[in-house]
Amino acid sequence: MTRLQNKRNAILKATLELLIEYDLQSTSMTRIATHANVGMGTIYNYFESKEALVSTLFNEIHHAMITTMFTNYPEQAGIQERFFHVWRLKCKYFIEHPQEFIFVERFTASPYVKPNIDKTLLNTLAQLDIMFEDAKQQGLLKQLPKSFFIPIVNGSLGALIRSHVMGTIVLDEDAIELAIHACWDAVKS
Amino acid sequence: MTRLQNKRNAILKATLELLIEYDLQSTSMTRIATHANVGMGTIYNYFESKEALVSTLFNEIHHAMITTMFTNYPEQAGIQERFFHVWRLKCKYFIEHPQEFIFVERFTASPYVKPNIDKTLLNTLAQLDIMFEDAKQQGLLKQLPKSFFIPIVNGSLGALIRSHVMGTIVLDEDAIELAIHACWDAVKS
Amino acid sequence: MTRLQNKRNAILKATLELLIEYDLQSTSMTRIATHANVGMGTIYNYFESKEALVSTLFNEIHHAMITTMFTNYPEQAGIQERFFHVWRLKCKYFIEHPQEFIFVERFTASPYVKPNIDKTLLNTLAQLDIMFEDAKQQGLLKQLPKSFFIPIVNGSLGALIRSHVMGTIVLDEDAIELAIHACWDAVKS
Amino acid sequence: MTRLQNKRNAILKATLELLIEYDLQSTSMTRIATHANVGMGTIYNYFESKEALVSTLFNEIHHAMITTMFTNYPEQAGIQERFFHVWRLKCKYFIEHPQEFIFVERFTASPYVKPNIDKTLLNTLAQLDIMFEDAKQQGLLKQLPKSFFIPIVNGSLGALIRSHVMGTIVLDEDAIELAIHACWDAVKS
DNA sequence: AATGAATGAGTTTTCATTCAT
DNA sequence: TATGAATGAAAACTCATTCAT
């Protein structure tokens, strides 16, 4: 079983590494197999098709990111503490996994990947809504529709992570705190 | 010449329309030609290759967006007026051109397109730096490296535009003002 | 147009020639293309898929055979004359086109080909029913269900043609007449 | 040994069942193994290759059919009795084994199967020649080359069996007798 | 300039067969 | 013996590009 998981993981890793550097079309199955040190046909023992492989990779990263964001989530703490917790972990996750960030950015909203968000994930994500709802109740937020807040925060931080990954800024721990603070200022009343 | 431009434009339009719905690989040159009501070989009278076609489309949209952003730019006005001017126009441009937005989002950072930012464009964009520099001089900005500000603002607004285009929020004129205001709060000290 | 038909015909001819000698699976599209003196992709300009190509070949031969059988069909003549006319022409058609015979035999009832019998063909074939119906009315036939007669005749003649094509018998014009006579004896009361 | 034979038979049965419904190429070894409730590699303990498996199946059915045809063969009886005996049993065999009929029809004359008619079988089949020779001696047959008679009879009956298996006619015991009678009329002088 | 049939390199995918367990 | 994951050769098919008209 360990061996099997190794093959599967090697294939996913190879796919990730190739796709952040090359085109989808020039990242051929043969190339992936070679890069993963695996026979070509082996990929098809683990994934139905190239599309399924790329989609699986996408969904696994997405899942890992969200799971990370809510690790040790202080459900009972104050708004700001919850706010900072979630986005701090998101930033850290992608700064530690820059390839995953590039990949997810590139394939979000691509017609090629079939997103597969399961119930567990949706339940987890519901915490964000609860947080913003609580914040609204306490009059902490700007007079904007609720659905505006996540894009505002996510958008800024995503763009900063991209800049960091591209090397145009350095997003260390201090900078992350300042950045999240800026996002908080953006949404707070 | 008008006829020729018509063909060229028809090809670009067809490419845009197909690429926001379909994959790069499944958007074949034949399909583009058919959709543009043009012979297959005709595309090659206007564009060197598929890559050149897609890159041209990308760069023309990019160019149009930036040109729009700085139309009637009040170079001598106050910081906030300049700040709002630029991003208001960006929002409006993409809300009026949702297909262009989707396309640009999808192909920014794709290894397939070759961005071609010319001098004029760079000069125009330099105005943003000037604005943030002026703002910093006047002590209006947070204590963050200068290169943080554009991602913060651009990221938020981009995400909001995406939400609007996807139909999860409505970004009308009032909402745009509020959103830019939020971004200003994010960067202001 | 002539050129185009030539390519199409060359492809069909090559497919026929290869399929009577080799397996379906070892008759690759590349092999067909080479044999037809045509580029590989060209096949796909004329046929949707390998399956479509083989099915088309099958249906065209089938069509040609039936059309041949009813050429100058003496609709008003006596039963025997009509009977001999049809089967004599079928025998002659396949003796002149042995490859077509082998191919049709091999792919009749194969799950691979999709038979496509159009209305015209069905109307033509209805003549057989009419003939046997007339014969029955005149009390010329054995006391057997009507649907037995065609298999009886067709089966015998088909097997004889196969033997001829395989070289174990010689089915010349005289032998054809004798064979059809035998078939007539089989069905006549 | 019984267990082993069971596996072998399960594999042959699975092959038969799949091949009458699906293509040779889409009837993969994996599919056969799954259908036979047997491990993939197990097939190769009993058969050298896919080709050997299919050929074996073909030859075993062929063997069974011929053996059946000559069970209790009344070597000393009159021509007609022998004639009816043989073909009656062939009809019955295939009506009781419709899958075998479809399979044999499909793979007779396929370049894929390697027919393997052993001496015993040939000796058995020689009885047919003897019967027709005797008939000829007694002046019972038409003035046709001897090699014409078997195709005439076999062809008709095969076509009738096919019609029965396809459901377009019903070939019950009475109909079989009438059909063989028709064949006798075809060959008799 | 406009066209689209022809092309074959390059891609995804299948599947018979092997072999370590 | 029985197994089925691993393999890669070989297949079908796509599609950017060319070029004769």
Q: Would the CB atoms of B151 and A160 count as touching at under 8 Å? A: yes
Residue ranges in chain B modelled with pLDDT below 70: 1-4
Q: Does C159 touch chain D (CB under 8 A)?
A: yes
Return the H-helix or E-strand segment holding C153.
helix C149-166
Q: Measured between beta carbons, which residues in chain D are less than 8 angstroms from residue C147? A: 163, 168-169
Q: Would the CB atoms of A147 and B163 count as touching at under 8 Å? A: yes
Nucleotide nearest to D25 in CA–C1' terms: E15
Q: Would the CB atoms of C175 and D109 count as touching at under 8 Å? A: no
- The pLDDT value recorded for residue B3 is 58
Across chain C, mean pLDDT equals 95
CA D93 – CA D97 distance, rounded (Å)? 6
In this complex, the residue of D170, D175, D182 whose CB is nearest that of residue C187 is: D182
For D15-45, the pLDDT digits (tens) are: 999 999 999 999 999 999 999 999 999 999 9
Which of C96, C106, C90, C95 lies closest to C19 in space, CA to CA?
C106
- The pLDDT value recorded for residue A31 is 97
Distance from CA of B66 to the nearest CA of A (A): 18
> Which neighbouring-strand residues pair with D188?
D141
- The pLDDT value recorded for residue C1 is 43
Nucleotide nearest to C50 in CA–C1' terms: F12
- The pLDDT value recorded for residue D3 is 59
- The pLDDT value recorded for residue C139 is 96
Q: Is the pLDDT of residue C4 over 70?
A: no
User: Cβ of A119 < 7 Å from strand F?
Assistant: no
Residue A1 confidence class, pLDDT cut points 50, 70, 90: very low
Give just the sign of the alpha carbon dihedral D81, D82, D84, D90: positive
Across chain A, mean pLDDT equals 95
C106-127 exposure pattern, b = at least 16 Cβ within 10 A, e = fewer: bbeebebbeeeeeeebeebeeb
- The pLDDT value recorded for residue B141 is 97
Residue range A122-149: average pLDDT? Answer: 96
CA C18 – CA B183 distance, rounded (Å)? 71
DSSP class of D125: H
In this complex, the residue of A23, A24, A152 whose CB is nearest that of residue B160 is: A152
- The pLDDT value recorded for residue B5 is 78
Cβ(D90)–Cβ(D68) under 8 Å? yes
- The pLDDT value recorded for residue A132 is 96
Which nucleotides of chain F have an atom under 7 angstroms from any protein CB? 1-20
For C99-112, the pLDDT digits (tens) are: 999 999 999 989 99
Nearest CA in chain B to A102: B109
For C137-162, the pLDDT digits (tens) are: 999 999 999 999 999 999 999 999 99
Which of A160, A90, A88 lies closest to B152 in space, CA to CA?
A160
Q: Does A174 touch chain B (CB under 8 A)?
A: no
Neighbours of D177 (CB within 10 A): 13
With pLDDT > 70 as the criterion, what percentage of chain C qualifies? 98
User: Cβ of A45 < 7 Å from strand F?
Assistant: yes
In this complex, the residue of C23, C162, C187 whose CB is nearest that of residue D112 is: C23
Distance of CA C77 to the CA centre of its chain: 24
C-alpha angle C178-C179-C183 in degrees, rounded to nearest 5: 115
Instruction: Report the C-alpha dihedral over residues C16, C19, C21, C27, rounded to 10 degrees.
Output: 130
Helices (H), chain B: 2-21, 29-35, 40-46, 50-69, 79-96, 98-107, 119-137, 149-166, 173-187
Q: Tell me which protein residue sits closest to nucleotide F6, measuring alpha carbon to C1'.
A: A42
Q: Does C114 touch chain D (CB under 8 A)?
A: no
Using a 7 Å CB cutoff, list residues 17-36 of D near strand F.
33
pTM: 0.93
Q: Is the pLDDT of residue A2 over 80?
A: no
Q: Would the CB atoms of B25 and A21 count as touching at under 8 Å? A: no
Helices (H), C28-78: 29-35, 40-46, 50-69
C-alpha angle C38-C17-C111 in degrees, rounded to nearest 5: 100
For A71-119, the pLDDT digits (tens) are: 999 999 999 999 999 999 999 999 999 999 999 999 998 999 999 999 9
With pLDDT > 70 as the criterion, what percentage of chain A qualifies? 98
Helices (H), chain A: 2-21, 29-35, 40-46, 50-69, 79-96, 98-107, 119-137, 149-166, 173-187
Helix (H, G, I), strand (E, B) or coil at B70: coil
CA D29 – CA D49 distance, rounded (Å)? 9
Q: Is the pLDDT of residue A3 over 60?
A: no
Residue ranges in chain D modelled with pLDDT below 70: 1-4
Q: Would the CB atoms of A156 and B152 count as touching at under 8 Å? A: yes
Residue found under tokens 């390519």: C7
Residue A5 confidence class, pLDDT cut points 50, 70, 90: confident
